[in-house]
Structure 1
């Protein structure tokens, strides 16, 4: 008669030559394989998770697109109504150096070009994710007058809009997945816009040691006076 041999734990195990009794009933694992569930669940989790993250990214990127559309519209309205010569020789412009005066209009053109590039970049990312980019809202700015543009009022508006937008980017970054780096590359540019427009408005260019962040709702509330979406 064959004797069972002890294993490492001191328990006995059957001889390798001893036949293993087969159950006539399928195991749970065999049943799940048989109906096609086991082995297909895990691969499907990853696409579902990615789609969820993509949808969340689309929502946040569309919010940032709202911000950029407002910024672009503000600078476009200025450029459409401002007279370059008057802007650079206005009474308010006398506070700047001659070099700064001579580049005022050109600098606003550069800000517009930045915002326009941001709009197209965000639109393309949203489309690549299968989303629908938001459209422009109706915008209202009070720096346009019957004589062109009130430059001091424009600088005041631009400083506020850019500072709020920069804080909005800071708040949105945490909500982004794979496209966080795209938003960060714009956020740093918006921060420089904020610094420059605050300088134009005679404000402290470096007001905080630590910048604040704003939620989507907070940004939209602060932009409410400028846009009707």
Structure 2
């Protein structure tokens, strides 16, 4: 399978837009990889054949949690964080690792096969400073919230829905925590966080994924 190069924007390009529309417009610099991957994966992730839809949604969520867990671990390993950001990033990273374990357990118990962790690519300046780490964290977390909100209406299994509801509540807390660290006033400033479609979520995470990894996510090997 041919690999497609994905151009990863810098942290500044990710964090500069102040609106959701502007955020996804900035992600357009990722190139055609996002559009191609979105078409392939979205079509597979929304398929409901043989009852596989909920498992595919869970695997899609697992890929997002893999991404966040690795980001926070690399942020800690960079050695550039000071308090209180250090403790917050450590706590959030622990949450994401627990989400990974919970989703793997849920998928396995339901008779599915958890998707393998992809190889992720981050902007070259992602871990060079505390400011760059917090800026990227403040873009990851709202995408996580939107992804779970968007998936909720598609989930049929009560166990999967309960897991998604529990996780999205924690992801919302993460948004507020990073807003606090960044001095956003008020930190909880969105009364109705937007639900994101799978296409929008894929556009957001495409710069961090190689094309092969995108095509393996949430596949029918369940």
| Unaligned ranges ≥5, structure 2 | 1-48, 214-222
Q: Quote the residue 1:207 is aligned against.
A: 189
How far off its partner does 1:135 sit? 1.5
Aligned partner of 2:199 in structure 1 is 217
Contact 2:85 2:181 in 1 (8 A): no
Normalised to the residue count of structure 2, the TM-score between the two structures is 0.67
Deviations along 1:86-121, whole A, 9 cap, x unmatched? x32xxxxxxxxxxxx3x3212211111100000010
The answer on whether the counterparts of 1:170 and 1:213 sit within 8 Å (CA) in structure 2 is yes
Cα distance change on mapping 1:226 and 1:199 into 2, 3 Å? farther
Residue number in structure 2 paired with 1:162: 141
The TM-score with structure 1 as length reference comes to 0.65
Partner of 2:153: 174
SS at match of 2:207: coil
Aligned position for 2:79:
82
Highest relative contact order (Cα 8 Å, sep 6+), 1 or 2?
Answer: 2
**Which residue number corresponds to residue 117 of structure 1?**
98
Higher helix proportion, which one? 2
Relative to its length, the structure with more strand (as a share) is 1
Identify unmatched segments of 5+ residues in structure 1. 1-50, 89-100
Larger radius of gyration: 1
CA RMSD in angstroms comes to: 2.1
Matches within 5 A, 1:23-62: 52-53=50-51, 55-62=52-59
